Amino acid sequence: MNARELILGRVCAALNRDAAADAAARRGVDAHLDARAVGPQPAVTDDLVETFMQCAAALSSTVERVASADEVPARVAAWLQAHGLPAQAVGWTGPAALDWAAAGIALEVRPPRADDLAGITGAFCAIADTGTLMLLSGADTPAAASLLPETHVAVVPRARLVAHMEDAWRLLRAEAGRLPRAVNFVSGPSRTADIEQTVTLGAHGPYRVHVVLVG
């Protein structure tokens, strides 16, 4: 008997499975999968933008709002400059459609490298409850762009803001049908508190995460 059969056999023995119980259990499992019941959620106010901005700030992201996408490159350029960061970045295809050159930012769309200083990405959506970005990996949306550079800038349309994680899953099922290789929920710059339980920003991922909320 191989390990798989042995382990599953032991599980069945522990659960007292017989044919009748097995059939009922299978129906129960299917029903549970179909129901996708939602558990208790933290209350959020109707003002998702305000909630998102507060929660993201609490986790050390910085957030700014702009009225339209056209404004994004200039505002990001100003933000980079204000933080003494060079105006160059690797980016996803989506945000690359904006006119970054006009704002003086050299944006390259290519696989990210370890020496990239900033990564500019979009987001599948953002979750207000925890101030979280939901990023999906893909051919045009490499996961490394939000991970290798020391600075991560995410451009998120206001319309892509949802209240809770369950809303994000619903949106994903509706729009993509299945999970991409990687769903990364990002809530602020990487951090560690391993040394003396003192929070230090910038562990192995970005030192700073800046979210530009559009609209």
Report the site for other proteins in 145-174 (rule: CB under 8 A). 147, 164-166, 169
Site for other proteins in 169-208 (CB under 8 A): 169, 178-198, 200, 202-206
Nearest residue (CB) to other proteins, 71 versus 150: 150
- Could you say whether residue 86 binds other proteins (CB under 8 A)? no
Residue carrying structure tokens 């060079």? 86
Nearest residue (CB) to other proteins, 101 versus 176: 176
> 91 is written with which tokens?
């980016």
Site for other proteins in 50-79 (CB under 8 A): 55, 58-59
**CB of residue 17 vs other proteins: minimum separation in angstroms?**
7
Considering only 4, 19, 68, 177, the residue that binds other proteins (CB under 8 A) is 4
Angle made by CA atoms 185, 207, 125, in degrees to the nearest 5 = 25
Task: Report the DSSP beta bridge partners of residue 211.
Answer: 63, 154
- Could you say whether residue 99 binds other proteins (CB under 8 A)? no
Q: Which range touches other proteins (CB under 8 A), out of 9-17, 74-82, 93-101, 154-162?
A: 9-17
Nearest residue (CB) to other proteins, 102 versus 203: 203
Site for other proteins in 28-47 (CB under 8 A): 28-29, 32-33, 36-43
**CB of residue 25 vs other proteins: minimum separation in angstroms?**
5
Neighbours of 65 (CB within 10 A): 14
147 Ramachandran zone, left/alpha/beta (phi>0; psi -120 to 50): alpha
Instruction: Find, among 134, 153, 149, the residue nearest to 72 by Cα.
Output: 153
Q: Which range touches other proteins (CB under 8 A), out of 44-52, 78-86, 99-107, 126-134?
A: 126-134
Write b or e for each residue in 158-170: b if 16 or more Cβ atoms lie within 10 A of its Cβ, otherwise e: eebbbbbbbbbbe
Nearest residue (CB) to other proteins, 84 versus 181: 181
Nearest residue (CB) to other proteins, 156 versus 214: 156
3-class DSSP assignment, residue 156: strand
Instruction: Find, among 157, 177, 173, 156, the residue nearest to 165 by Cα.
Output: 173
Contacts of 203 (CB under 8 A, 6+ apart): 190, 191, 192
Nearest residue (CB) to other proteins, 55 versus 156: 55
